[in-house]
Amino acid sequence: MHRPNDLLEADVRDQLAADTLLDSTRVMVSASHGRVMLSGSVPTYEESVQAGEDAWRVSGVSAVDNELLVGAVGEALDDLEIATQAAAALDDSHMVPPGAVEVSVIEGHATLVGTVRRHSQRRAAERAVGRVPGVRGITDKIELTAEPIPSDVVDTTIEVSNVGQTIYLDGVTTSWFGKKAAEDAAWGAPGVAQVVDRVTIIPGAVGTGLEGGDRPSSVDVSVRPGERR
């Protein structure tokens, strides 16, 4: 037997109001024979998801139709602005590996692509982007892998890529010390079987973060399969 509609609606409203992570001031609730519909709007996509989860927690709810809109009334954000804020949110998240996830936005709908090692990192990326104002939905195309990924080796002056368990280093540093530091960081990443170091040494180069004394201005490419020094 279903609970009376008015009581179920009241219980759902109370559940939403009790959630400190949710602004439910513009959420409307209606119920019919155990089926609850949420309408109105919330500031962020994450809150729309949270509202649906809250409704499911109420005893007597047999179905939830989440029709919530995302965004403040009258607010219009450009996709580029949303994408910029979403990228910054990913950078600020300590749970998302630096540079591992990219985001694009079309008509407020964000698409996440990239590679991480853990499901928790993928969920952290969703939550970070879901909090960005203007995001109306998320498509998560982030893949999980046990192989080394470029974000395992972080240096703003050196480009990192991988094929399978092989890490490739490209870019410029000012010293032999900087080159070796990047190489050692690559070998320290989980699952690495080979490092191909194509970093060029240019003493006095501007914008490099790995400094050191003068060294020869060119070096041979270093390939070290299955070896650590």
The answer to whether the CB of 196 falls within 8 A of the CB of 223 is yes
Q: What are the residue ranges of helices labelled H in the chain?
A: 5-18, 45-56, 79-92, 119-130, 176-187
| pLDDT tens digits for range 59-116 | 889 999 998 888 765 455 688 888 999 999 998 998 888 888 999 998 888 999 998 8
Q: What are the residue ranges of helices labelled H in 57-112?
A: 79-92
| pLDDT tens digits for range 180-228 | 778 877 887 777 888 898 888 776 554 444 444 433 333 333 334 444 4
Average pLDDT, the chain: 80
The answer to whether the CB of 116 falls within 8 A of the CB of 144 is yes
Task: Summarize the confidence of residues 34-60 as an average pLDDT.
Answer: 90
Across the chain, where does the E strand assignment appear? 27-32, 35-42, 63-66, 69-70, 101-106, 109-116, 137-144, 158-163, 166-173, 194-201, 222-223
Domains and CATH numbers, the chain: 5-70 (3.30.1340.30), 79-144 (3.30.1340.30), 150-223 (3.30.1340)
